[in-house]
C-alpha cells in the first residue's frame, strides 16, 4: 500500500494498524483534551514522608480478586492478580496471585530452617541467615498456577473479567540461591533422580521435582522485586522453578528430600494431574504452555466511542521466550503481528501492543502467541485434543466480544 496517511496503513481487517504506528509516536485523536493552564494558586504542604509507601488512595479499587476460599477449610483457595488494571510486565508484590492449601504460616526467619536430606553424602541444615550468605542470582520470571484460566472450560462463557479468568499468573524479579549449589555441597548419590520439596504450611504441601530441573535453573528464592518475600509468597524462603506450574515452586520451604523416586503425594496424584479423553491421567506435567491475553481493552474497561485505541496484552510460555504475538479484530478472519515491548525474556511476561482504529461496530478481539512449540491453540482445538475432563494447563485463545456500546465480555469463538 502506498498510502501516506499512517491511519490507512492497515495490518489486518477491521482497523488493525501497522505496528510502525507505535514507533512513530502518539495516538493523535485518542481523546486528550487541551486545557488552558489554570492560574497558579497557593498550595498547602502535602503529606509527610513515610517509612513504606502504599498505592494512592485513588487506586484502592485495584485489589486481588475472587478469593475462592474452598468450603470447609481455612485459608485454602486462591486470589487473583487484576491484570486489566496493570501495565508493563511486573506484578506489584502485593498484587501477586495467591494459592494456599492451608493458609499462610507465620514463620520467624530467625527460627526457620531448611533441611536437605535423603540420598546425599551428608544431610545439611540451612538457617535463613546461612542462605543469605550464599552467592545469589536474580531473574525476572512469571509464575502461573496450572489451574489458571480453567473458568473457560465451562460450556457457556462466564461473565468474568480478565483477572478473574487469567489472574493466576504474575511476574516478579526473583532473587535467591541456585539449588544446584546446595545439592553439590551435600553430595548427590548417583542414583538420585528426584527431589521432594515440602513446605512449612499446615498442609505440608509437597511436590516431587525431577533432578534435572533442580540442577538446571531452580533457586531458593529469598527476595521478590528487590525486597524479602511477601508472607503469602513463601516468606522467608520458597522454591522457584522457572516456567513450571506454580504449585511446584513450594512456598515456606522446609525440606528438600533427595530421592530415587517421586513421592506420589496427594498434590501430584489426586490433584495437578491431567485427565485425558481415555480416562488415564498424565502426571508430572510441569512446563506452562504458550499463552496470551489482551488485558486492555477487556471486560470492565469499556471503549468510549469509535476512534484510535492501543490493544495491550501479555504473552508468556514456560518453554522459553515468546517468538511472536498476533492480534485479530475480526474474530480470527485476519491477523496482524503485534509489537513486543522491550526485551523479550525467557519464562517472563512479554507485553504486546497493537494500534486499532475501532469503527464502532460490534466485533471480537483475539490474541495468539507463538513459541518454539508452536501457536497457542483455539479453544475448539484444545478441547478436541484434551477432551472435556481435564482441568489444568488451559491455554486456549481468549476472545473478547466488543459491543456497539463499547462494553466488552468474555466469549467463545
Ligand atoms: Co501440570
How would DSSP label each residue in 374-399?
Answer: EEPPPHHHHHHHH-SS--S---PPPE
Among 408, 407, 406, 307, residue whose Cα is nearest residue 366: 408
In angstroms, what is the span from residue 388 Cα to ligand 1's centroid? 16
In angstroms, what is the span from residue 282 Cα to ligand 1's centroid? 8
CB 382 within 8 A of CB 149: no
CB 220 within 8 A of CB 131: yes
Cα(404)–Cα(359) distance, rounded to whole angstroms? 9
223-232 residue pLDDT tens:
999 999 999 9
Polymer length of the chain: 413
In angstroms, what is the span from residue 411 Cα to ligand 1's centroid? 25
Backbone phi and psi for residue 246, each to the nearest 5 degrees, phi listed first: -55, -40
Cα(104)–Cα(231) distance, rounded to whole angstroms? 7
Q: Which residues of 335-351 are buried (b: 16+ CB within 10 A; e: fewer)?
A: bbbbbbeeebbbbbbbb
Average pLDDT over residues 197-209: 97
70-116 residue pLDDT tens:
776 778 899 999 999 999 999 999 999 999 999 999 999 999 999 99
Cα(251)–Cα(197) distance, rounded to whole angstroms? 9
pLDDT at 2: 42
Q: What is the pTM of this model?
A: 0.93
In angstroms, what is the span from residue 325 Cα to ligand 1's centroid? 24
In angstroms, what is the span from residue 244 Cα to ligand 1's centroid? 8
384-412 residue pLDDT tens:
999 988 999 999 999 999 999 999 999 99
Say yes or no to pLDDT of 203 above 50: yes
In angstroms, what is the span from residue 213 Cα to ligand 1's centroid? 15
Backbone phi and psi for residue 176, each to the nearest 5 degrees, phi listed first: -175, -165
In angstroms, what is the span from residue 32 Cα to ligand 1's centroid? 46
In angstroms, what is the span from residue 111 Cα to ligand 1's centroid? 33
Residue 29 binned pLDDT confidence (cut-offs 50, 70, 90): low
What are the beta bridge partners of residue 169?
144
Say yes or no to pLDDT of 235 above 80: yes
pLDDT at 27: 57
| Beta strands 350-358; 307-316: pairing state | antiparallel
In angstroms, what is the span from residue 118 Cα to ligand 1's centroid? 25
129: left (phi over 0), alpha (psi -120 to 50) or beta: alpha
pLDDT at 8: 58
Cα(62)–Cα(141) distance, rounded to whole angstroms? 22
In the chain, the N- to C-terminal Cα span, in Å, equals 31
In angstroms, what is the span from residue 319 Cα to ligand 1's centroid? 14
In angstroms, what is the span from residue 245 Cα to ligand 1's centroid? 6
Higher-scoring residue by pLDDT: 279, 394: 394
In angstroms, what is the span from residue 289 Cα to ligand 1's centroid? 10
CA distances from 89 to 83, 142, 246, 314, 343 (A): 10, 9, 18, 8, 11
In angstroms, what is the span from residue 337 Cα to ligand 1's centroid? 30
Cα(403)–Cα(106) distance, rounded to whole angstroms? 47
In angstroms, what is the span from residue 192 Cα to ligand 1's centroid? 22
Share of the chain above pLDDT 70, in %: 92
In angstroms, what is the span from residue 271 Cα to ligand 1's centroid? 9
Q: Which three cell numbers stand for residue 322?
A: 515468546
| Beta strands 253-259; 113-118: pairing state | parallel
Cα(231)–Cα(97) distance, rounded to whole angstroms? 12
Amino acid at each position: 500500500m502506498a498510502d501516506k496517511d499512517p491511519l490507512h496503513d492497515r495490518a489486518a481487517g477491521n482497523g488493525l494498524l501497522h505496528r510502525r504506528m507505535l514507533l512513530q509516536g502518539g495516538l493523535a485523536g485518542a481523546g486528550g483534551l487541551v486545557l488552558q493552564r489554570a492560574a497558579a494558586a497557593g498550595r498547602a504542604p502535602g503529606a509527610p514522608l513515610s517509612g513504606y509507601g502504599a498505592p494512592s488512595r485513588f487506586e484502592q479499587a485495584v485489589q486481588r480478586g475472587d478469593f475462592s476460599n474452598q468450603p470447609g477449610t481455612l485459608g485454602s483457595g486462591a486470589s487473583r492478580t487484576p491484570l486489566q488494571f496493570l501495565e508493563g510486565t511486573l506484578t506489584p508484590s502485593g498484587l501477586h496471585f495467591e494459592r494456599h492449601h492451608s493458609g499462610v504460616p507465620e514463620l520467624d526467619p530467625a527460627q526457620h530452617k531448611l533441611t536437605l536430606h535423603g540420598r546425599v553424602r551428608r544431610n545439611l541444615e540451612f538457617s535463613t541467615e546461612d542462605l543469605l550468605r550464599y552467592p545469589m542470582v536474580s531473574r525476572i520470571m512469571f509464575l502461573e498456577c496450572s489451574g489458571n484460566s480453567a473458568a473457560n472450560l465451562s460450556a457457556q462463557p462466564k461473565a468474568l473479567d480478565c483477572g478473574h479468568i487469567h489472574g493466576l499468573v504474575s511476574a516478579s524479579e526473583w532473587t535467591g540461591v541456585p539449588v544446584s549449589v546446595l545439592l553439590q555441597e551435600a553430595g548427590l548419590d548417583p542414583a538420585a533422580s528426584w527431589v521432594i520439596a515440602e513446605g512449612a504450611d499446615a498442609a505440608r504441601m509437597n511436590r516431587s521435582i525431577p533432578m534435572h530441573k533442580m540442577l538446571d535453573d531452580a533457586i531458593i528464592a529469598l527476595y521478590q522485586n528487590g525486597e524479602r518475600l511477601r508472607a503469602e509468597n513463601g516468606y522467608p524462603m520458597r522454591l522457584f522453578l522457572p516456567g513450571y506450574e506454580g504449585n511446584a515452586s513450594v512456598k515456606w520451604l522446609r525440606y528438600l528430600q533427595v530421592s530415587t523416586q517421586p513421592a506420589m503425594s496427594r498434590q501430584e496424584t489426586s490433584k495437578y494431574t491431567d485427565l485425558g479423553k481415555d480416562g488415564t491421567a498424565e502426571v508430572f506435567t510441569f512446563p506452562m504452555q504458550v499463552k496470551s491475553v489482551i488485558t486492555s481493552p477487556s471486560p470492565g474497561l469499556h471503549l468510549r466511542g469509535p476512534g484510535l485505541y492501543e490493544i495491550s496484552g501479555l504473552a508468556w510460555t514456560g518453554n522459553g521466550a515468546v517468538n511472536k504475538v498476533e492480534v485479530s479484530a475480526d474474530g480470527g478472519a485476519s491477523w496482524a503481528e503485534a509489537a513486543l515491548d522491550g526485551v523479550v525474556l525467557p519464562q517472563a511476561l512479554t507485553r504486546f501492543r497493537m494500534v486499532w482504529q475501532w469503527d464502532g461496530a460490534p466485533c471480537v478481539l483475539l490474541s495468539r502467541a507463538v513459541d518454539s512449540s508452536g501457536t497457542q491453540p483455539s479453544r475448539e482445538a484444545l478441547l478436541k485434543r484434551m477432551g472435556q475432563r481435564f482441568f489444568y494447563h488451559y491455554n486456549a485463545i481468549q476472545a473478547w466480544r466488543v459491543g456497539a456500546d463499547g462494553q466488552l465480555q468474555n466469549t467463545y469463538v
